[in-house]
Amino acid sequence: MQTVIVKASDGHCDVDGIKQAANILRSGGLVAFPTETVYGLGADGLNGQAVRKIFAAKGRPADNPLILHIFDLKQLEEIAAAVPDCAQRLIDKFWPGPLTLILPRGDRVPDAVTAGLDTVGVRMPDNDIALAFLAACKVPVAAPSANVSGRPSPTSALDVMDDLGGRVDCIIDGGKCSVGIESTVLDVTRPTPVVLRPGAATVEDIRSVVGEVAIDPCADGIDDCATSTPARSPGVKYRHYAPIAPLVLFEGDPKARLVELSRRIEKLVAEGKTVGVAVVSESLPYLPSGNGERLVVRDMGSALDPSRIAATLFSVLRAMDRDKVDIILVEGIHDTGVGFAVMNRLRRAAGGAVVRCS
């Protein structure tokens, strides 16, 4: 299959290109498009047959439901059976933005979107190109992240091309994603809202709007939710966000963390391994200098700015793959605010390979 590329970067919306992409989607095709979080792989969210193509292109397990993307609140009427009061307050505060709400499912939503659940995830992205595209599509657009299942999410059109080139009909190139990690997923169908997946809409910010908020045990990425049944958000039970090389995460006291990380680097380089290291800016001066090409160090940004770290996280992991390192060592960050979402992604990319330092 030939993948059409529509250029919409530099803040410009190529109106004809967006229309062309929307026509492809409306006739049952797959279109990858930029959002503020990560690139999405979109299909007509009311067309079950089109939605099933997403699962095939990504290799996504069929029991992992998709999020519907909308550009206008009126669209909620056709996809949600009800909008609870607390959901309305969250919509007023966070939309457009990186918060997905799990709502009671409307009759028109196909099973392929919800994986048969009686709820549906909905979000309005905060990105002008995404909103223009969704408006041109006129239908709710079902879209998971536009990566091969299990890989780090794509934050540029090039990332999408690397994973799905030739497997999707169209990619809208809207430059880099500003947030860089997927949306917060919040279930508002329960008496107390539950965070199923942390994201840039933080637990603290959500609490300031609705008061009490619960956090699903799988949301911190520590528990192995593959074995907990049933997982509330099916997506959380799969290993995710993982680069090709094994990833080891170093958590705990910052000084102890750095000592242990340095020791590991020296040992692995001495064994002849090519080591990728991702640390916060503050740690850069303290790393061993390594052995030329054997050590690839990447700066994730200041520990004081977790939003910046979120914005670079997946591109750093994908860059390590392009560098063909044998192993990736990553320094953890503080576990609050957006840092909680960053640590969720890193713990799951590590798949249990976590070194706790004290």
Q: Which positions touch Mg ion (CB under 5 A)? A: 144-145
**What does 31-95 look like in DSSP terms, one character per residue?**
EEE--SSS-EEEEETT-HHHHHHHHHHHT--TTS--EEE-SSGGGHHHHBS---HHHHHHHHHH-
Q: Give me the least distance between CB of 182 and Mg ion, in Å please.
A: 6
**In whole angstroms, what is the distance from residue 68 CA to residue 121 CA?**
6
- Taking CB within 5 to 8 Å according to partner kind, which of ligand AMP, Mg ion, none is near residue 64? ligand AMP
Closest CB to ligand AMP among residues 53, 197: 197
- Taking CB within 5 to 8 Å according to partner kind, which of ligand AMP, Mg ion, none is near residue 65? ligand AMP
**In whole angstroms, what is the distance from residue 142 CA to residue 160 CA?**
17
Q: Give me the least distance between CB of 32 and Mg ion, in Å please.
A: 13
- Taking CB within 5 to 8 Å according to partner kind, which of ligand AMP, Mg ion, none is near residue 202? none
- Taking CB within 5 to 8 Å according to partner kind, which of Mg ion, ligand AMP, none is near residue 193? none
Structure tokens at 335: 């576990």
- Taking CB within 5 to 8 Å according to partner kind, which of Mg ion, ligand AMP, none is near residue 343? none
Q: Give me the least distance between CB of 238 and Mg ion, in Å please.
A: 9
**What does 289-355 look like in DSSP terms, one character per residue?**
---GGGEEEEE---TT-HHHHHHHHHHHHHHHHHTT-SEEEEE----STHHHHHHHHHHHHHTT-EE
Q: Give me the least distance between CB of 59 and Mg ion, in Å please.
A: 12
Q: Give me the least distance between CB of 342 and ligand AMP, in Å please.
A: 15
Residues that bind ligand AMP (CB under 6 A): 64-65, 67, 102, 114, 117, 119-121, 144-145, 182, 185, 196-197, 233-236
Query: Which of 153, 175, 309, 178 has the alpha carbon at shortest distance from 243?
Result: 153
